[in-house]
Amino acid sequence: MDTYARFSLVFTTVIVILQASRAVVTRTLDIGYTLSEDSANWPTNRPIEIISLVKGLTPKGFWYEANVICMNEHSSTHLDAPSHFSEGAWSVDRIPLNHLIVPGVVMDIQEKVAKDSLAELTAEDVMAWLDKHGPLPDRAIVLVRTGWASRYGNKTAYFGTDTKITSKLAFPGINVGAARIFSGYEEKYGRRVVGVGLDTPSQDHGPSTHYPTHIELAAANIYGLENLADMSELPTKGFQLMVMPMNVKGGSGAPVRVIATIPDPDGDLSSGPPTHPLGQLLYLTPCLTLLVTLLLRP
């Protein structure tokens, strides 16, 4: 074997080994709730109504069903567009697509919440997270896990009151100090936070009546995800989120599906080639290298 062929063989082998070592099997999970008349709904919202218009066999012999849905934009698991709290900021339909398919991280404050149901993610919590886990990825969504999802389904426990008086609401949230780190993150660190989300009814904790966290984030065109479901399967970082709100023109918010793609160590490696163009290129690199080698061989 000549030197050229030997070099090509070694190079190809190294690429194959590198590829195998970076192969990650993933699985997807929905971290929102289904939308129904029983969904969590802000106390001052109109009730969610799903009205059956038609359901049955038509005279022509085929099945037909259709509903009408009546609700506030901010019902069930939903996205708060920046325009919800900041004049001229992005409405749902103006949020760029590359702010909706993005990396996620989880900041967990369950321990604090177990001691104080009004606890908030603070600036100190965020700095401690950054010290421990490193900088946020660019275009990140920061998810705050309070553990409140375990109360979902019991409206009194979830909202902290059985009244419609919003000053009596009691649940954890995100402090404005933490929000300021997210809104200023790009200027300070060159990476942008595009959204925050949490497993409670609102970004600001229950008793808030002036919503400083909403206002701070909205002014920076950072959207919010509220009434997210259980996050216990999410890793602290290293996962992707796909945020799919209804594309309401001028919408201040919209029901949303949030799908997380997480590494799955028990997954099946034979689940097929990658679908991303870069992944496909890497996947095909050994074959391409061999082909080029054969073609260029003197």
Q: Under the rule (CB under 5 A), what is the footprint of Zn ion?
A: 74, 80, 226
Nearest residue (CB) to Zn ion, 177 versus 197: 197
Burial of 220 (0-12, 13-18, 19+ CB in 10 A): buried
Distance in angstroms (rounded) separating the CA atoms of residues 205 and 125: 16
Task: Give least dist CB 213 to Zn ion, A.
Answer: 12
**Bridge partner list, 197:** 143, 225
Task: Give least dist CB 66 to Zn ion, A.
Answer: 28
The secondary structure of residue 75, as a DSSP letter, is B
Nearest residue (CB) to Zn ion, 80 versus 108: 80
Nearest residue (CB) to Zn ion, 74 versus 192: 74
What is the radius of gyration, based on Cα positions, of the chain? 24
The secondary structure of residue 194, as a DSSP letter, is E
Distance in angstroms (rounded) separating the CA atoms of residues 40 and 202: 11
Nearest residue (CB) to Zn ion, 8 versus 203: 203
Nearest residue (CB) to Zn ion, 244 versus 262: 244
Q: Which residue matches tokens 């799955």? A: 264
Rounded to whole angstroms, the maximal C-alpha distance in the chain is 83
Task: Give least dist CB 116 to Zn ion, A.
Answer: 23
Task: Give least dist CB 202 to Zn ion, A.
Answer: 7
| Token output for 90 | 């992005």
Task: Give least dist CB 23 to Zn ion, A.
Answer: 39
Task: Give least dist CB 74 to Zn ion, A.
Answer: 4
| Token output for 132 | 């421990």
Nearest residue (CB) to Zn ion, 80 versus 216: 80
Distance in angstroms (rounded) separating the CA atoms of residues 71 and 54: 19
Nearest residue (CB) to Zn ion, 237 versus 257: 257
Distance in angstroms (rounded) separating the CA atoms of residues 160 and 154: 10
Q: Which residue matches tokens 């909706």? A: 100
Task: Give least dist CB 77 to Zn ion, A.
Answer: 10
Tell me the residue nearest to Zn ion as measured from the CB. 74
